[in-house]
Amino acid sequence: MKKTAKILMASVAVSAAMLISPMVAMAQNIPAAVVTENHAPRTKNVILFLADASGVAALNAASLMAYNEPMKLNIQSWPHLGLSETSPVDNFVSDSANGMSSIVTGVKTRNGVISQGPDVIRGQRDGTPTKTLLEYAEERGLLTGVVSSQSIADATPAANYAHSNDRGKQGEIFMQAFTPRYGDGVDVLLGAGRQRIGGLLTQAGTSFDALASAHNRPVYTSLEDAAANNTRPIVVADRIDVRAATLRALDLLEPSEQGYLLVVEWDAHTDDVRKGLQNIVDFDRLMAEIAGRVNLDETLLIFTSDHSFGVQVDGGKRGQDLMEGYDAWKASGSDADLVRLENVLVNRTHTAEEVPTLAIGRGAEQVRGYFPNTHLFNVIMNSWGWEASQ
């Protein structure tokens, strides 16, 4: 299904509210469709990369593990850097639900809550739905996509397209992808979680097949099964190849004349420290690949995290394996909260310190200093030249 009507309506709205004289645009060789009222070209495309549970210490450790040197990750060369404060309204330490909801709605909420205001009571009473960046993009005719290494109805991806008083309601959350509040909903939805979501759908009296039939939108079991001619695929797999899924999503979103929003999550929890750090390294390589592919004159790339995690490097030297002692710990099967390797200490819990935000491309200069995570919503909205509404 194409978004012709929505794109036409959005074009009219943008023309009326935002554009300067076409003569000015022509004189500056800037497409009129991306010129805002302050005569500055707006961002056409936004890609938000979210490494779940990746703080400053995790980036440092990932660089040391992979390259035996600090500051060797590609994103550590991105020119714009800030520190994002992640707390919910009532606690110091955030979970992914509040963390991501705050980023994509500009409103801090409570842990466990998906894109609803702090008037919510988790699991008991809905709060005020808070409008997400994806919903703003849908309203204005952009193409949208969400990719996740995790369940596609888990907190981080769900915060983009759904609203719930409890992140655990993954069946109800997933169903909201088919009944959007704005536009025709998320266009490309690729992630894992098939067993859990499927079980919850069964409890709710429905299924993947029933939803697909009712909405004429197949739900594929793997990325490979998704039809090549389906421009709005939904994949709920047991596991997902994040790189392949992200590149597939870009292939589908990039033709949009109005622009696109793509959100990509890759888990970076370091409960298993080698696995978590390797995910950061692999994610970094993917981000470098994408940064080399897109047009940064019209695309904003942002990397951040929803919250930090208790990992620190407190020993080691160049030429030594940072993960010394990991194999013995893994073989022990220990589930202790505190993991002591030779050079790394892991307290297997979320932590409260600020997380890094790095940016490159159109509008990236807004990322600087210390700020609450809600500021990233404003950075992206300002880059698009849009004002918040409900």
Q: What is the pLDDT of residues 164-193, one digit of tens each?
A: 999 999 999 999 999 999 999 999 999 999
Of 26-40, 99-113, 131-145, 308-322, the poorest mean pLDDT is in: 26-40
The CA distance from 374 to 102, in Å, is 5
206 confidence band (pLDDT: 50, 70, 90): very high
The model's pTM = 0.90
Q: Is the dihedral of CA 70, 74, 80, 82 positive or negative?
A: negative
Q: What is the mean pLDDT of the chain?
A: 92
3 confidence band (pLDDT: 50, 70, 90): low
At 322, give phi and psi (nearest 5°).
-60, -30
Q: What is the pLDDT of residue 37?
A: 41
What distance separates the 2 farthest-apart alpha carbons in the chain?
Answer: 70
Q: What is the pLDDT of residue 390?
A: 77
Smallest CA-to-CA distance from 354 within 289, 314, 307, 301 is with 307
Query: Is the model more confident about 376 or about 12?
Result: 376
150 C-beta neighbours (distance < 10 Å), count: 21
Smallest CA-to-CA distance from 192 within 113, 245, 260, 114 is with 245
The tokens for 242 are 């994040």
297 has a pLDDT exceeding 50: yes
Which architecture characterizes domain 44-384 according to CATH? Answer: 3-Layer(aba) Sandwich (3.40)
118 confidence band (pLDDT: 50, 70, 90): very high
261 has a pLDDT exceeding 60: yes
- As annotated, the residues of the chain forming the CATH 3.40.720.10 domain(s) are 44-384
Q: What is the DSSP string of 115-130?
A: SB-TT-BTTTB---B-
Pairing of strands 344-351, 338-340: antiparallel
Question: 3 and 18 in contact (C-beta within 8 Å)?
Answer: no
